[in-house]
Amino acid sequence: MASTLLGLRCSATSLNVLMARSFTTSAAAAMARQRPARSLPTVARVPGLDSPADLHNLSEIHPLLDHYPRKTDQDGHLKLDTDKLWPSNPPLDDMLKNQADDDVDESSLPHGLTKDDLKKFLKRALVVKRTSNMTTAGKIPSMYALVVVGNGEGIAGYGEGKDDEVARAVRKATNRAMRNLTAFDRYDDRTIYHDIDHKFHATNIQFRSRPPGFGNRCNHYIHEICSCIGILDISAKVWGSRNPMNVIKATFEALGQKQKLPEDIARGRGKRVVDVQHTYYGASE
């Protein structure tokens, strides 16, 4: 008896669900038939366009949608390409040029050098860092660069530059280094004439002349400077402050101003240059 009642209840429940679904579907259909049709906005027709299919073919030039002047390729077909404002290789040198700092006058170069010779120079950006100037308006950031240039044959120089961009700062420093080229004396075109002890501010550097094949065994900043100058055999030791700017400036000052040449020694001792060359440097001539 209980199972019979349970079966009747399940049948009644299923019948109610089916009736509800059918009522909902029929009611929705009736409401849809009674709802007024929504009017679609009218699209203005463009003269010359017969169907929407014409809009998909964008590879062809349309007399109304495309502007003149028309251009044709080698085969005589119309093309949509426009002229480029910049060529494939934009002139970055002109965009980064600063007339106040980029003009290198040949009269400021050592005797015998031209602008064409500058293209063969070695360039080393040894120091590139971010700096800031504290003002009443706040911190004003900028980039600082120190560049060393040289031809590897006894001529080198260094320059400093500051700008908002790294590329412009390096360019300014490079051009200033070109204008500050100095000729360095080298013994046998490979090393210095004698040992040098030099102090620049808080930086002390000891330079030692070395025999052939010794190499450049020194601070990495001094190593790059000697490579630009053309010094192949030298040893150096830095004492005190190892600030890169002080080390670089001390190296240029010591190698360019503190060397005593055989001519100077012979003049001070009242001897011939040949005797001094033989006594101090072991020359056979």
Q: What is the pLDDT of residues 139-181, one digit of tens each?
A: 999 999 999 999 999 999 999 999 999 999 999 999 899 888 9
Q: 141, 156, 183: which is the final residue of a domain? A: 183
Q: What is the pLDDT of residues 102-144, one digit of tens each?
A: 556 666 666 567 777 778 899 999 999 999 999 998 999 999 9
**Sequence-distant (≥ 6) Cβ neighbours of residue 48 within 8 angstroms:** 62, 63, 64
Q: What is the pLDDT of residues 253-282, one digit of tens each?
A: 999 999 988 888 888 888 888 887 777 776
Answer yes or no: is 247 within a domain: yes
Q: Measuring CA to CA, which residue among 152, 164, 160 is closest to residue 176? A: 160
CATH code for position 117: 3.30.160.20
Q: Report the chain's terminal Cα–Cα distance, integer Å.
A: 137
Answer yes or no: is 20 within a domain: no
CATH code for position 254: 3.30.230.10
209 shares its domain with 171: no
Residue 120 — φ and ψ, nearest 5°?
-90, 0
List the domain range (segments joined by +) for residue 239.
Answer: 196-281
Answer yes or no: is 57 within a domain: no
**pLDDT for 266:** 84
Beta strand 182-183 with 196-200 is unpaired
274 shares its domain with 235: yes
Residue 211 has pLDDT above 70, yes or no: yes
Q: Do residues 251 and 267 lie in contact, with contact meaning Cβ atoms separated by under 8 Å?
A: no
Domain count, the chain: 2
Torsion of CA 177, 178, 182, 185, to 10 degrees: 100
Mean pLDDT, residues 190-195: 92
pTM strictly above 0.85: no
161 shares its domain with 237: no
Answer yes or no: is 111 within a domain: yes
Length of the chain equals 285
Answer yes or no: is 141 within a domain: yes
